[in-house]
Amino acid sequence: MARIELKNLRKSFGAFDVIKGIDLEIRSGEFMVFVGPSGCGKSTLLRLIAGLEDITSGDLVFDGERVNNLVPSKRGIAMVFQSYALYPHMKVYDNMAFGLKLAHAGEDEIRKRVLEAAKLLQIDHLLDRLPKQLSGGQRQRVAIGRAIVRDPRVFLFDEPLSNLDAALRVQTRLEIAKLHHAMNNVTMIYVTHDQVEAMTLADRICVLRDGKVEQVGTPAELYESPNSIFVAGFIGSPKMNFLTGAFAGAYGCHTLGIRSEHIAVSEEGAVWSGTVVHAEDLGSDNYLFVDIGATEPVIVRQSGKLTIPYGTKIGLVPSPENLHRFDERGLPVV
Ligand code: ATP
């Protein structure tokens, strides 16, 4: 386990500032997820922690020790990438054992650790295969296994599931969550684009924007109490509805935000009325896209099967306790 502190951390590539002064503490044993728009610096931040990029300024501290100048192999980290980066000519066993061999571990010790990790990941029946004889999900488990055997104090994941199909993503996501518990809650830092991965895996999520931290909090804190319109719009799927102009003015704000599940369809007490212009039926849930005369249709999430046909005129009732009001700077109105 390791406690990681980033103190005014900065990274520039030439004249281009990518990481612009990040202060963040990652607790020992915590599962921290980095999210943010493409290009905001998520991977760069992970690579700074790993030691794969030089820090321009600021401090990186592991368990009280400044590690800015410590080489990657001495940091006690293991990294799992989107591309599995397995050695194609080596069997699964040798792929997993490789790092330990380099570190001159004994044969018995190597065998014990590889078998333990393989068992944990349920790939113990695949140890004699070559990577090309594995499915994508199995390959990614081997890559994770290779990281586990080195007994790292910090696990770094850079979009590890993005090459997998939908069903495998769900399964491997569960395995990563189980792994976090099984490994005595080793510290994990995980970069993703995927809302569901972020919400389900994270103890805390760090939302990055343009090289800076926008907000850090538990998934529920970010979902329920975003500290800016940016976080409100970024966390959650479907995206929070934003209404401006007279719709917001009626609530004394510049932009009114409301999530799709906090709007009810009802003529009685209707605050807005509009026409169903599109709908998506997910089986368990459905999303109505309702044109109420705002810039974009309002998305309303209902549970159960879709029963309202396109073109129907309906009334909408936003739940008063779940409104998010933002001022002209995009900050919450208090
Ligand atoms: P994505 O979600 O698209 O993977 P990201 O948030 O992980 O993006 P980074 O890969 O960290 O973003 O890149 C942040 C910025 O730094 C980008 O504008 C990128 O072009 C730039 N960048 C990254 N590596 C280098 C490099 N070696 N040299 C110059 N610029 C770089």
Task: Please tell me which residue, 99 or 249, carries the higher pLDDT value.
Answer: 249
Name the residue of 9, 43, 161 whose CB sits within 8 Å of the most ligand 1 atoms, as the mutation to test its pocket. Answer: 43
Say how many Å lie between the CA of residue 198 and the centre of ligand 1.
20
Classify domain 238-326 by CATH architecture. Beta Barrel (2.40)
3-state SS, residue 161: coil
Above 90 in pLDDT, residue 246? yes
38 Cα–ligand 1 center, Å: 8
83: left (phi over 0), alpha (psi -120 to 50) or beta: beta
Q: What is the pLDDT of residues 305-332, one digit of tens each?
A: 888 999 999 999 999 999 999 999 999 9
pTM: 0.91
| DSSP one-letter code for 53 | S
Pocket of ligand 1 (CB under 6 A): 13, 16, 18, 36, 38-44
Q: What is the CB neighbour count within 10 angstroms for residue 286?
A: 18
Average pLDDT value for residue range 39-55? 95
Length of the chain in terms of residues written: 334
In three-state secondary structure terms, 87 is: coil
Q: What's the confidence (pLDDT) of residue 168?
A: 82
Mean pLDDT of 241-270: 97
Q: Where in the chain is the domain with CATH 3.40.50.300?
A: 4-232
Q: 13 CA to middle of ligand 1, Å?
A: 10
CA of 163 to the centre of ligand 1 (A): 19
For residue 236, give both structure tokens. Answer: 């959650």
Query: Which pLDDT value is given to residue 9?
Result: 98
Residue located nearest, by CA, to atom 16 of ligand 1: 18
CATH 2.40.50.140 residue ranges for the chain: 238-326
Distances (CA, A) of 159 to 80, 120, 164, 185: 8, 21, 10, 20
Starting at the edge strand found earlier in the chain, the sheet holding 324-326 runs 241-243, 255-258, 324-326
Ligand 1, atom 11, lies closest to the CA of: 41
- For this complex, say whether ipTM is above 0.85: yes
Predicted confidence at residue 47, as pLDDT, reads 95
Residue nearest to atom 10 of ligand 1 (CA): 43
Q: Are the beta carbons of 270 and 279 closer than 8 angstroms?
A: no
Q: To the nearest whole percent, how much of the chain has pLDDT over 70?
A: 100
CA gap 16, 11 in Å, rounded: 9
Handedness of CA 222, 223, 224, 225 (dihedral sign): positive
Read off φ and ψ for residue 105, nearest 5 degrees.
Answer: -75, 155
Q: Is the pLDDT assigned to residue 185 strictly greater than 90?
A: no
Predicted pLDDT of residue 164: 81
Domain 4-232 has CATH 3.40.640.10: no
296: three-class secondary structure by DSSP: coil
